[in-house]
């Protein structure tokens, strides 16, 4: 029987890992998605969708499906599932690795202002109306209801339902990666004065920051949540190395 790997996904890295592992063919891989995206991209390995029911549910899943290794390749801001994975893996005695993209770091010409959370971002926007690009997910967007004076441009993969509660919203749907040219056009067309985003890392959503730099626009950067204390790597190749080593140690 081939060893079973559970891959927690929802990111480009998880899809790349699934492709590489599928090509290797020496593991049974299950990719797990939260089910937030209406039409997720096709994946080269079996996919399960939806929550496990907290850390206990994930622990039970690991035991029931005889998982030999757990790879948490979720988004750096998906804090709950990563904390659950740490707890469940420890209790089930399953080796766990977290693959997290390195955060972006500001460069010369960037005007990034760190904010702890959405409430702090609303405060930092100030009282005077501004034209704001919210490059955030639907969970965060609702929090801007406390700052209704601004005009918001909101981009999401799927339409946001229920619609954002602010009175002045332009909502667009698009799936990255986005080019610098596309982002520059978007910022200019909507006369954006400030961007609010997460420090997601990676390349797919980085171009907006280059466009902001070129225009001298401020960026309110939501800070990353503290990660759980588990082994971590920052790229797919290192994750594959860890996996080979972990499975060898377990004699599988
Ligand atoms: P979260 O707050 O950490 O997780 C909320 C709950 O969703 C978890 O407790 C878990 O439910 C379920 N869940 C999350 N990821 C899952 C997965 N890969 N497979 C099965 N269940 C999962 O997560 P989130 O921030 O809502 O993100 C949800 C998904 O979107 C993640 O897979 C993440 O990689 C992806 N994503 C997130 C962001 C972001 O900015 N947060 C951006 C891009 C992609 P149970 O407790 O019931 O198990």
* pLDDT tens for each residue of 151-210: 999 999 889 988 999 999 999 999 999 999 999 999 999 999 999 999 999 999 999 999
How many CB atoms are closer than 10 A to CB 215?
A: 14
Considering the entire predicted model, what is its pTM?
0.94
Which of the listed residues 16, 40, 74, 76 should we mutate to test ligand 1's pocket, taking the one with most ligand atoms within 8 A of CB? 74
Residue 84: CB within 6 Å of ligand 1? yes
The pLDDT of residue 250 is above 90: no
Residue 74: CB within 6 Å of ligand 1? yes
Mean pLDDT of the chain: 95
Give the pLDDT band (50/70/90) at residue 39: confident
Mean pLDDT for the stretch of residues 213-223 = 98
How many CB atoms are closer than 10 A to CB 105?
A: 9
The residues pairing with 170 across neighbouring beta strands, listed in sequence order, are 153
CB 172 within 8 A of CB 153: yes
Share of the chain above pLDDT 70, in %: 100
Residue 33: CB within 6 Å of ligand 1? yes
The pLDDT of residue 251 is above 80: no
Burial of 16 (0-12, 13-18, 19+ CB in 10 A): middle
How many CB atoms are closer than 10 A to CB 15?
A: 21
The pLDDT of residue 118 is above 80: yes
């Amino acid at each position: 029987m081939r060893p079973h790997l559970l891959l927690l996904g929802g990111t480009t890295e998880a899809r790349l890992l699934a492709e590489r592992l599928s090509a290797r063919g020496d593991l049974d891989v299950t990719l797990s998605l939260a089910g937030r995206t209406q039409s997720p991209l096709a994946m080269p390995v079996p996919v399960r969708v939806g929550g496990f029911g907290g850390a206990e549910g994930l622990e039970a899943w690991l035991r029931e499906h005889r998982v030999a290794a757990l790879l948490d390749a979720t988004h750096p801001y998906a804090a709950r599932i990563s904390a659950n994975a740490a707890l469940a893996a420890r209790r089930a005695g399953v080796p766990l690795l977290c693959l997290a993209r390195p955060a972006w770091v500001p460069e010369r010409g960037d005007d990034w202002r760190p904010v702890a959370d959405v409430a702090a971002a609303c405060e930092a926007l100030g009282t005077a109306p501004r034209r704001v690009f919210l490059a955030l997910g639907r969970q965060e967007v609702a929090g801007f209801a406390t700052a209704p004076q601004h005009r918001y441009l909101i981009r999401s993969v799927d339409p946001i339902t229920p619609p954002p509660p602010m009175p002045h919203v332009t909502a667009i749907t698009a799936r990255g990666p986005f080019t610098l040219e596309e982002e520059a056009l978007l910022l200019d067309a909507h006369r954006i004065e400030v961007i609010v985003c997460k420090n997601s890392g990676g390349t797919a959503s980085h171009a907006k920051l280059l466009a902001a730099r070129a225009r001298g626009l401020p960026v309110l950067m939501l800070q990353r949540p503290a990660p759980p204390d588990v082994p971590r790597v920052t790229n797919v190749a290192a994750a594959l190395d860890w996996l080979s080593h972990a499975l060898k140690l377990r004699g599988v």
